[in-house]
Structure 1
Amino acid sequence: MVVEEPISLRIGGGCCGKDDNGGDDRCEGSGVVGDGGGIYLWRWSSRVLYNKNLWDFCGFRETQFRNRRFVNWVVVDFWKFESGRSVMVEEEKHPIHGEIVQENEPKGGICGCFWAPFYWFKMLAMEMHWSFVFSVVVIYGISQGLGGALARVGTEYYMKDVQKVQPSEAQVYSGLISIPWIVKPIWGILTDVIPIFGYHRKPYFILAGALGVISMLYLSMHEKLHLFLALLALTAGSAGNAIADVTVDACVAQNSGSHPLLAADMISLGALSSSIGALVGFSFSGILAHLIGPVAVLGLLAIPAGLVLSVGVVLKESYTPGFAYRQVTEKFIGAAKAMWTTLKCREVWRPCVYMYFSLALSLNIYQGMFYWCTDAEDGPSFSKETIGYIYSIGSVGSLLGAILYQYGLKDYPFRDLCFWTQLLFGLSGMLDLVLVLRLNLKFGIPDYLFVVIDTSVSQMINRLKWMPLLVLSSKLCPPGIEGTLFALLMSIDNAGVLSSSWGGGLLLHVLKVTRTEFDNLWLAILIRNILRISPLCLLFLMPGSDPNSSILPTDILNAEGGSQNLETKNIELASLVDNVDGR
């Protein structure tokens, strides 16, 4: 049997195709149950459909599944066959169209390993549509990764050198700037429920980009801006990032619901994009802060914001005609009821409690460490360029953490991963204590090398700790309110981050850690490290099941969303000139 022509349904580098020996009940010799014309499954990424051990990092390998039966839920949920029948592949191997094999199969050896990430990228683009991959790279990689790196260094030096605030104050102000991320459910409800001019996504991307461009340009054009106005501009820019983030999060949640076995791949794509963008951004952030100053660095953030705006311009989205704006209140109430019904589910609220406390109890005293590294007389006294280089090398640790999770840890149960990552997270904090007590110099390790090791290890463990929580959050979103509920779950996480930031600022204030006094900084680090391990007492709240399986109960998955059935599954980013057919 030869596959004559592949159709659009694709999984992991393979596809479905019609054979030339159709039958009423069964394709002759193919072992696939059909309904007339016959459908022949011939090539796929084995990890996606059946056995994770057959996944090859160096590419997609052709695999025969002998005497294996795929249960109905796999066929229905992932291949979308209307018949919903089981599929069995027999031992007989059938020839395949040679051109298609050559297109999708990489070479082996070192060359194959080099091209493997590109084939993985291509597989995601084929399965999720290239527009989804593009939007993830733009939002996570350029806006949050590269732009976030510039924003971090620029804001830190802006508060320290331009506004001249204390470390505890800077810690509190950083929490204030992040408030738009706490109210992400509002942005989620807006984008899910209320279309603007008939579109659910385009206007919100445009709004997000416009907020970022205007606020950052305003901040950069005023060298001596009042602290209140500066915080207002930084918060507006943060709101733009939050709106763009919640919009792309809705796409991630939708695809995680329709392709649960690829949920970890989607999170890995976002994490890898963010890490690479941060690596590039941090590499230049310190140099730019030294050459043009922190105010001008913040002005450069208008460029990533402009790219977000352009995403909204080129977004091809199904038009929603005749929207009844008078029913907005009713739709808000419906969405709220659907969220409340989901949150009451035991499988949802228990992980939410753990996620909040695992973040809130990990007090953030970073501003104290930053001031000590740059201003303390007995400290390292790092320059702006050195700080940027340290951050860039630290982002490599974050990238390694994302790769390690993608290719080694994503199939482990959530509870086991959270135990080890939380434990290592607490232990890694002891490196800061060694640095502040200057023990590294007694062992002959220079400050720069030790801080690079400290930052890289901390970033890698933090990424490993964060990614299972993201994957779990994407799996807790029922159909219909994906964007809203995912935004709510992320806002719970951001509330934990805010609590951590303000708690750390309070700790620095109580211990009298200022711009010039760092005597009690070691005690703040020790208290923080102890609190980092305390969430292990709540680990029983996390699910211990297979991370590739569905977590939500069937009744919630099959229930209709409280808002409306949004026509967003086929949203695509399209050229203003060319009309792409979807593949």
Structure 2
Amino acid sequence: MGEEPRLPKHNEEEMQENEQPKKGILSCVSSPVSWFKMLAKELHWSFVFGVMVVYGISQGLGGSLARVGTEYYMKDVQKVLPSEAQVYSGITSIPWIIKPLWGLLTDVVPILGVAIADVTVDACVAQNSGTHPSLAADMQSLCALSSSIGSLVGFSISGIFVHLIGPQGVFGLLMIPAGLVLLVGVLVKEPRTSFVEYKQINQNFVNASKAVWKTLKLPDVWRPCLYMYVSFSLSLNISEGMFYWATDSKAGPSFSKELIGYIMAIGSIGSLLGALLYQYGLKDYPFRDLLFWSQILSCLAGMLDLVLVRRWNLKFGLPDILFVVIDASVSQLIGRLKWMPLLVLSAKICPPGIEGTFFALLMSIDNAGLLTASWLGGLLLHVFNVTRTEFDKFWMAILIRNLIRITPLFLLFLVPRADPNSTIFTDEVLDSNEDPGVQEFDDVELVALVKSVDRG
């Protein structure tokens, strides 16, 4: 944690350049620029551009607009209970859970006679993590920084747009990020192989599914997957209850739409700081150590919600707006510190050849955990009778949520205590995954990739 911020050095010329100290504002500008240049050189500029559009504009800016718009749409237009809004918000994440099916289809089904190996930026991230293992943390940092900056901008303007054009109008604005994602699909550089053997599609699909299943059964893979799912599931989400309390409760602060957006924007600054802290200070620390401390801090940060709802902050002389800003920033920072090592670990356990499909599977496991957390949070709000106007027992729901957050600590043994810069898979592990049955399909790109996993 006390290390000096540094950028990855990949060749002798860059080392000589970095030996020249740069101070002050020039260093603050030149370091990120050099980092972006390095990534563009190592990975291709279209990949960096794709990450910035997909994570920054689509998921970051678009996701923040959609979140605030959806919350006000549920509360003011549909007039549902907080517990119901919690369940509905979970349902909207279901498409993220079926990503492995989409990954398999795009790997094995030709489109106009062309099999596109990896059509998503997520898949490119995983594939580049396999071909550039030393850059896995840098690529996840690029994704996190893009997402955090996009969220900062999006939340800053979300409340204003909801106030001016309403939630439905905000939904209309989301066509812009969607259009930019289509542009990424045209520009991103990826390997393509032409073939017209449609009769082999079924066999290719079976072979790819077998390869994924064989990999998933490896202890070095299923153990971290189990931890990720349980960890996210037990981080119960009661954000809808907090939103209703902050805007509708007579005992609450009654924040306006604009203020809600600004508070979430400041929270995104915490997420951005978390990504920077990980990139320049924590990315070389073992996964298990980072997850242990981030889980502890997550439990403690959750207590800030309890202080706010019980109105203890006013007794300490802290106004609501100041305390909520602190709460949002700290929670987002810790959440990012917990998320980053899990993303890097996910990229690390993707075996060579099926990185795209397998990374999609891992992300679907994480999203399944988030879905479970949202539904369990909705159940918790229902049990304590938290409604649009009734919040007397809301503090008990917050307390129970915070206590449950401790439980993932007992499963940390499932996470490898490994150097984030080393490879997770050994030659023995890859050799144990051998399947001679796929050798007869050498003319199909995907099968050739699967063979590379089997033979190590």
Is 2:279 the counterpart of 1:406?
yes
Of 245, 249, 254, which residue of structure 2 is paired with 1:376? Answer: 249
2:360 aligns with: 487
Deviation string, structure 1 residues 513-548 (Cα, Å, up to 9, x no partner): 111111111000000000111100001111112111
Of 93, 108, 121, which residue of structure 2 is paired with 1:193? Answer: 108
Of 104, 108, 111, which residue of structure 1 is paired with 2:26? Answer: 111
Is 2:352 the counterpart of 1:464?
no
CA distance, structure 2, for counterparts of residue 149 and residue 194 of structure 1: 34
1:179 CA drift (Å): 0.4
1:574 aligns with: none
2:39 aligns with: 124
Q: Does the 8 A contact of 1:480 with 1:560 survive in 2?
A: no
1:516 aligns with: 389
2:161 aligns with: 288
Task: Give the unaligned 5+ runs of structure 2.
Answer: 1-6, 450-456
Detail structure 1 runs of 4+ shifted over 6 Å in the superposition.
558-563
SS in 1 for 2:66: helix
CA distance, structure 1, for counterparts of residue 400 and residue 417 of structure 2: 30
Is 2:402 the counterpart of 1:529?
yes
Is 2:52 the counterpart of 1:137?
yes
CA distance, structure 1, for counterparts of residue 418 and residue 89 of structure 2: 37
Of 61, 64, 67, which residue of structure 1 is paired with 2:18? Answer: 61
1:368 CA drift (Å): 0.6
Which protein is bigger by CA-based radius of gyration? 1
CA distance, structure 2, for counterparts of residue 471 and residue 147 of structure 1: 24
CA distance, structure 1, for counterparts of residue 273 and residue 201 of structure 2: 45
Alignment of 1:43-82 (within 5 A): 43-45=13-15, 61-62=18-19
SS in 2 for 1:320: strand
CA distance, structure 2, for counterparts of residue 346 and residue 13 of structure 1: 33
- Structure 2: which amino acid aligns with 1:336? S
1:138 CA drift (Å): 0.8
- Structure 2: which amino acid aligns with 1:519? D
Higher helix share: 2
1:109 CA drift (Å): 4.7
More divergent stretch after superposition (389-398 vs 129-138): 129-138
2:129 aligns with: 256
CA distance, structure 2, for counterparts of residue 568 and residue 281 of structure 1: 42
Q: 1:467 and 1:139, CA in 2 relative to 1: closer, same or farther beyond 3 A? A: same
CA distance, structure 2, for counterparts of residue 315 and residue 198 of structure 1: 19
TM-score, with structure 1 as normaliser: 0.72
Q: 1:356 and 1:412, CA in 2 relative to 1: closer, same or farther beyond 3 A? A: same
Q: Does the 8 A contact of 1:106 with 1:119 survive in 2?
A: no
1:159 CA drift (Å): 0.9
Larger RCO of the pair (alpha carbons < 8 Å, separation 6+): 2
Deviation string, structure 1 residues 416-458 (Cα, Å, up to 9, x no partner): 0000000100110000000000000001111011000000000
1:140 CA drift (Å): 0.5
Q: 1:12 and 1:407, CA in 2 relative to 1: closer, same or farther beyond 3 A? A: closer
1:324 CA drift (Å): 1.8
- Structure 2: which amino acid aligns with 1:61? N
Q: 1:199 and 1:391, CA in 2 relative to 1: closer, same or farther beyond 3 A? A: farther
CA distance, structure 2, for counterparts of residue 462 and residue 396 of structure 1: 12
CA distance, structure 2, for counterparts of residue 398 and residue 531 of structure 1: 23
1:91 aligns with: none
Task: Give the unaligned 5+ runs of structure 1.
Answer: 1-10, 16-41, 47-59, 63-104, 206-246, 570-583
Q: Does the 8 A contact of 2:110 with 2:195 survive in 1?
A: no
Q: 1:317 and 1:420, CA in 2 relative to 1: closer, same or farther beyond 3 A? A: closer
2:299 aligns with: 426
1:310 CA drift (Å): 1.7
Q: Does the 8 A contact of 1:12 with 1:127 survive in 2?
A: no
Q: Does the 8 A contact of 2:288 with 2:416 survive in 1?
A: yes
Deviation string, structure 1 residues 481-523 (Cα, Å, up to 9, x no partner): 1111111111111110010000000111111111111111100
Deviation string, structure 1 residues 84-107 (Cα, Å, up to 9, x no partner): xxxxxxxxxxxxxxxxxxxxx885
- Structure 1: which amino acid aligns with 2:129? S
Q: Taking every aligned residue pair, what percent have the same amino acid on both sides?
A: 68
1:75 aligns with: none
SS in 2 for 1:429: helix
Of 218, 232, 240, which residue of structure 2 is paired with 1:359? Answer: 232
Q: Does the 8 A contact of 1:12 with 1:44 survive in 2?
A: no
Of 156, 174, 178, which residue of structure 1 is paired with 2:93? Answer: 178
Of 453, 462, 486, which residue of structure 1 is paired with 2:326? Answer: 453
1:348 aligns with: 221
Q: Does the 8 A contact of 2:237 with 2:374 survive in 1?
A: yes
CA distance, structure 2, for counterparts of residue 258 and residue 418 of structure 1: 26
1:326 CA drift (Å): 1.8
TM-score, with structure 2 as normaliser: 0.91
Q: Does the 8 A contact of 1:195 with 1:320 survive in 2?
A: no
SS in 1 for 2:262: helix
- Structure 1: which amino acid aligns with 2:133? P
- Structure 2: which amino acid aligns with 1:191? T
- Structure 1: which amino acid aligns with 2:77? V
1:314 CA drift (Å): 3.4
- Structure 1: which amino acid aligns with 2:395? W
Alignment of 1:564-575 (within 5 A): 565-566=445-446
- Structure 1: which amino acid aligns with 2:70? T
Is 2:239 the counterpart of 1:269?
no
Q: Does the 8 A contact of 2:292 with 2:409 survive in 1?
A: yes
1:323 aligns with: 196
- Structure 2: which amino acid aligns with 1:43? E
Q: 1:422 and 1:200, CA in 2 relative to 1: closer, same or farther beyond 3 A? A: farther
Q: Does the 8 A contact of 1:318 with 1:568 survive in 2?
A: no
Q: 1:480 and 1:451, CA in 2 relative to 1: closer, same or farther beyond 3 A? A: same
1:313 CA drift (Å): 3.1
SS in 2 for 1:548: coil
| Alignment length (residue pairs) | 436
Q: Does the 8 A contact of 2:116 with 2:191 survive in 1?
A: no
Of 155, 176, 179, which residue of structure 1 is paired with 2:70? Answer: 155
- Structure 2: which amino acid aligns with 1:565? E
- Structure 2: which amino acid aligns with 1:405? Y
CA distance, structure 2, for counterparts of residue 513 and residue 319 of structure 1: 53
Deviation string, structure 1 residues 285-337 (Cα, Å, up to 9, x no partner): 00110011111011100000011112223345554222322222211111111
- Structure 1: which amino acid aligns with 2:150? G
1:112 CA drift (Å): 2.4
CA distance, structure 2, for counterparts of residue 345 and residue 567 of structure 1: 20
Q: Does the 8 A contact of 2:314 with 2:320 survive in 1?
A: yes
CA distance, structure 2, for counterparts of residue 319 and residue 420 of structure 1: 43
